[in-house]
Amino acid sequence: MSFSAFDLYFLIINLLGFAFGAVNSRVRSKKPEGKSDAVLAFLSVLGGAVGCLLSVLIFDRKAEKGNMLSRVIMSCLSVIDVIILLMVKGTLSGKLSFAFWDVFVKYPYALVYVGLVNFISFVLYGLDKRKAVKGKNRIRIVTLLGSAFIGGSVGSLAGMYLFRHKTDKNYFYIGVPLMVVMQVFVLFYLSNLLC
């Protein structure tokens, strides 16, 4: 079995991400509160997101406000890295098309799903803003970000800015637009794979 230069790079950068993530999880408790895991985010940008994310899932499951941005970046870039890897490996044949709406034409239930999850995400941001104003129990950050991650990023973005909610938290004002980019990658890949 032979490895291309791309395979070797992808393997090494993900092993580095995994190793650094393991070490980082041991020393993170000694860092000042609120300090983000910038090196993990940087390794993710370089292509090591899958290794970094695996490391976090194995060694450091506790999500805090200080590490939330790096987790959002790692999650989004893991999906993008896998799509790029699949494309480089030749899972798509023929000419690439940017007409990702073909997925919705051929599979109308996908449009129903995306519409529903975006509506739910939008409503969640409105409800959380209302609860914040009234001083009631809030919707968890993981729920808000999770609804955006599973396809509701446009609804989340609209809810953030229409309700003026969570626009000062970096894991939202950076994370949710990154999720939009990730979902465009997913739609691009699926439209070329399925249509």
User: Does position 143 have pLDDT exceeding 80, yes or no?
Assistant: yes
Contacts 24+ apart (CB under 8 A), 22-31: 22/55, 22/58, 22/59, 24/55, 24/60, 25/55, 25/56, 25/59, 25/60, 26/59, 28/60, 28/67, 31/66
Q: What is the pLDDT of residue 98?
A: 86
Which range has the worst mean pLDDT, 5-14, 20-29, 120-129?
Answer: 20-29
Q: Rounded mean pLDDT of 181-188?
A: 95
In angstroms, rounded to a whole number, what is the distance separating the alpha carbons of residues 111 and 92? 22
pLDDT at residue 1 in the model: 62
Across the chain, mean pLDDT equals: 89
Structure tokens at 65: 């406000």
**pTM of the complete model:** 0.88
Closest CA to 48 of 85, 4, 94, 23: 85
The predicted model gives 98-125 an average pLDDT of: 94
Q: CA geometry: angle at 138 spanning 133 and 142, to 5°?
A: 135
DSSP per position, 74-115 = HHHHHHHHHHHHHHHTT-S-S-----TTHHHHH-HHHHHHHH
Q: How far, in Å, CA of 130 to CA of 91, rounded? A: 46
Q: Tens of pLDDT along 7-21?
A: 899 999 999 999 998
Q: Please say whether the beta carbons of 187 and 83 come within 8 A.
A: no
Rounded to 5 degrees, what are φ and ψ at 43?
-60, -35
- State yes or no: pLDDT of 22 exceeds 50: yes
The average pLDDT across 26-41 equals 63
Give tens-digit pLDDT for 49-81: 999 999 988 987 777 777 788 889 999 999 999
Q: Give the tokens for residue 165.
A: 């909610």
Predicted local confidence at residue 28, as pLDDT: 63
The continuous run of DSSP H or E covering 125 comes out as: helix 108-134
